[in-house]
Structure 1
Amino acid sequence: MYRFLLTPRWWAINVFVILAIPVCLIAGMWQLGRFEHQVDVHRHQQKQAESAGEPRPLADLLPLTTETAGEQAEVTGSFDADHQLLVPGRRLDDTSGFYVLTMLHPADGTPALPVVRGWLPGAADAALVPPPPAGEVTVTGAVQAPESPAEVDGPTGGLPSGQLGVIGAASLINVLPYPVTDAWLTVRDAEGPMRAVPVTAPSGTGLDMDAFQNLGYTAEWFVFAAFTVFMWFRLVRREVELRRDAELGLIPPQQSREDALARSGSPAPPA
Structure 2
Amino acid sequence: MAQYSFLATPRWIGLIVLMLIASIACLFLGEWQYGRYQEKVAAATQLTQTWDREIVPLEDITGDENEWQLTSLTGEFVPDSQVLLRGRSVNSLPAVHVIALFVTERGGEPLTVVVDRGWVYQEQAEGDGQTDGFVQPPPTGRMTIEARMRPSEDAFDRTPPEGYIYTLNPDQVLAGIPQDVTEGLPPVFDGRFTMTEHSDETGAPQPYPKPSTTLGNHLAYSWEWRFFALAALAVVPILARREAQDNAWIIDGVDLRELDLTDEEKRDLGLAPKRAPERRTPSDEDIEDDILDQASAISSK
TM-score with structure 2 length normalisation?
0.51
Please tell me whether the aligned partners of residues 84 and 100 of structure 1 are also in contact (alpha carbons under 8 angstroms).
no
Q: Provide the C-alpha distance between the structure 1 equivalents of 2:53 and 2:61, rounded to a whole number of angstroms.
A: 14
Q: CA RMSD in A?
A: 5.2
Q: Provide the C-alpha distance between the structure 2 equivalents of 1:245 and 1:216, rounded to a whole number of angstroms.
A: 44
**Deviations 1:116-146 (CA, angstroms, capped at 9, x unpaired):** 45668771354xx532435xx5x43212345
Q: CA deviation at 1:18?
A: 9.9
Corresponding residue of 1:238: 243
Q: Provide the C-alpha distance between the structure 1 equivalents of 2:17 and 2:240, rounded to a whole number of angstroms.
A: 14
Task: Report SS of the residue matched to 2:82.
Answer: strand
Please tell me whether the aligned partners of residues 73 and 142 of structure 1 are also in contact (alpha carbons under 8 angstroms).
yes
Give percent identity, aligned residues only.
12
Q: Quick check: 1:222 aligned with 2:210?
A: no
Please tell me whether the aligned partners of residues 32 and 214 of structure 1 are also in contact (alpha carbons under 8 angstroms).
yes
Q: Provide the C-alpha distance between the structure 1 equivalents of 2:15 and 2:82, rounded to a whole number of angstroms.
A: 66
Q: Provide the C-alpha distance between the structure 2 equivalents of 1:31 and 1:15, rounded to a whole number of angstroms.
A: 24
Q: Provide the C-alpha distance between the structure 1 equivalents of 2:84 and 2:200, rounded to a whole number of angstroms.
A: 19
Q: CA deviation at 1:101?
A: 2.5
Q: Which of 1 and 2 has greater Rg?
A: 2
Please tell me whether the aligned partners of residues 75 and 103 of structure 2 are also in contact (alpha carbons under 8 angstroms).
yes
TM-score with structure 1 length normalisation?
0.55
103-112 vs 191-200, which moves further: 191-200
Q: Provide the C-alpha distance between the structure 1 equivalents of 2:44 and 2:90, rounded to a whole number of angstroms.
A: 23
Corresponding residue of 2:35: 34
Superposed, which structure 2 residues align to 1:175-254 within 5 Å? 175=178, 176-177=182-183, 178=185, 179-190=187-198, 193=201, 197-198=207-208, 219-220=224-225, 222-243=227-248, 245-246=250-251, 250=255
Q: Quick check: 1:130 aligned with 2:139?
A: yes
Please tell me whether the aligned partners of residues 34 and 218 of structure 2 are also in contact (alpha carbons under 8 angstroms).
no
Structure 1 alignment gaps of length 5 or more: 151-155, 252-271
Task: Report SS of the residue matched to 1:83.
Answer: coil
Please tell me whether the aligned partners of residues 73 and 141 of structure 1 are also in contact (alpha carbons under 8 angstroms).
yes
Q: CA deviation at 1:228?
A: 3.1
Q: CA deviation at 1:242?
A: 1.3
22-31 vs 232-241, which moves further: 22-31
